[in-house]
Amino acid sequence: DSPGFQRTEVPRPPGGKDLHAYPWDRSSLKSMPVDLQQFEKLDAYALQVDVKNSVEELVKALLKQARTDLEKVRAIWMWICHHIEYDVVGYHNKSQLSCKPIDVLQAGKSICEGYAGLFEQMCSIAGIQCLKLSGYSKGYGYKMGQTFTGDSDHAWNAVYLDGRWHLLDSTWGSGSVDDAFTKFTFRYNEFYFLTHPALFINNHFPDNSNWQLLKPTLTLKDFESNMLHSSNFYMLGLLGAHPETGVIHTVNGKASVSVDCRSATLFMFKLKESEEHGLMTLKKHGMKLDIYPQKTGSHKLQIFAKPSKGSEELYSCVLEYRVECSSVDKAMHFPKELSQPVGPSWFTERHGFLRPSHPDPIIHTNDGRCSVTFTLGKDISVLASLHCDHSSLAEDMGRRHIMQIHRGNQIELKIHLPHAGNFVLKIYAKKKSDPGNYDYVFNYLITCLNTEVKWPAFPQSYSKWAEDYEILEPLSGSLPANRNVQFKLKMHGVAKVLVQAEDTYPLTLSRGCWEGTCNTSGCREVFVMVHENANHSFYSHVLKYEVETQ
């Protein structure tokens, strides 16, 4: 041995104080306290060390900046994760491949066996106890719910620090291979450095169960049936998912998944690559998803997440399930326009929609009418529209079946459905002070099974109809022919109000409402007009009603 390097004594087997409780106690992602900021200088130093002629020389160079055993292990880990790439060609042709540490170092590439062997030797030179472990892994090519038989397929390491054993996987710390297993990409993953054993077991099952470092240990059957969480799952601060098994069976055509997390997180899902046939709601500490596959058989369900702060960030896949569907619930066929997530949440609150009258994503109505209220944040202007599949609801008509009523900072959306069915109520908003377009905020699903329902649209309003005006009657935009129709409108700040049919009928102001009647004979349209200032002769149109043909 080169002078100055001591070989380590025989490692002691794991037991007692090495063991962690299972399931995970949600305390930390690592098996010992690690302050990553304190490693910044050391990490940067280790990355630029460039020694390829001997393992001893490499370790000597790395240890120049490392004082403690933890720092030594960190420097070795960082160097391997950033300098050794996965050998996809060697993987397919193992007979030609040497996993000897010096060969791995000089080639700059290897398979898991080579990563773990180099790690073990470098630690040994640095005087740190380290072992190479082997076992089954849920890595490349893993299929949900599969069983594991035969020889182990992966290798990783255990290191002895501060009187306890800890686990790490430098192969998975270094990056990933593509689906075709033809290309490796360096993508450093902090998760696999001193991973908490209750999380490591999620995708590493050692040949010798003592090296799970868990109490109680898991059986291979547990390992096979447990849900696979990607490292993104934990790195995004997610805590758990239900169900905990990778394969879910529908009950009466429905399957449900929920995720718990520490802080507000945005989610999306894909069932067989599309975002249909599901109803996802965001919760303060997670999300809930009900899916209703519209075909029997086996379906892949993926769940994606991203932090709510990082609007620029992409969604990462955090969970994958296999859904076995034995029967289809045709009634739960959602309109194409439905966007995920559905219903109000912390996200809509952030956009100024507070205290919703309907906290749930689905609004059921029996008579085809419903009303949704919110307290609005300051300076918010709202636009709402109604959509459904195969219906005559053109964009403008979709708006005409909703009436906005403002009372102080409260907004009420009154909805009259044109017929039975499933509808999407889409809600958009913008700052009143913003000249720009409205931004989509969220949507509800409105369902009505009553086939008798047939509500006409509300009257058409013009730009002079102020947002805090209110129609008390007639609410229907379609008036009967040859009838006297009673008008009652809540409007302020106007001098005169006229209803123009064949003749013109003035309304009178009584207790804050303009009231009167008009006769619909001999006309096809009726307009409500206001005179804003008694000194002007100019009238503005504010409402338009259609008159039914005989």
Enumerate the active-site residues. Answer: 112, 154, 169
56 contacts 5 by C-beta, under 8 angstroms: yes
Tell me how far apart the alpha carbons of residues 56 and 60 are, in angstroms, rounded to a whole number. Answer: 6
How far the first Cα of the chain sits from its last, in Å, is 107
CA distance 529 to 324: 61
Number of alpha carbons in the 13 Å side-chain half-sphere of residue 361: 21
- Side-chain-side CA neighbours of residue 305 (13 Å): 29
| H or E segment and range at residue 395 | helix 395-400
Alpha helices by DSSP H, 155-275:
170-174, 197-200, 220-225, 231-235
Residues 357/373, Cβ–Cβ less than 8 Å: yes
Unique residue bearing structure tokens 């017929």:
419
User: Distance (Å, rounded) from C-alpha 500 to C-alpha 503?
Assistant: 6
Strands (E), 200-296: 204-206, 214-215, 238-242, 247-249, 255-261, 265-271, 278-283, 286-291
**Exposure pattern of 261-298 as b/e (b: 16+ CB <10 Å)?**
beebbbbbbbbeeeebbbbbbbbeebbbbbbbbbeeee
How many CB atoms are closer than 10 A to CB 487? 22
CB 313 within 8 A of CB 272: no
Q: Which two tokens stand for residue 268?
A: 């999306």
**What SS3 class is residue 408?**
coil
Q: Token pair 């390829």 is at which residue? A: 52
Distance CA 413, CA 384 (A): 8
CA 496 to mean position of chain CA atoms: 53
CA distance 332 to 368: 18
3-state secondary structure of 195: strand
Q: Would you state the structure tokens that stand for residue 266, as one six-digit string? A: 């945005």
Helix (H, G, I), strand (E, B) or coil at 85: strand
Distance CA 475, CA 480 (A): 13
Q: Evaluate the omega torsion of the peptide bond into residue 216 and state whether it is cis, within 30 degrees of 0.
A: yes
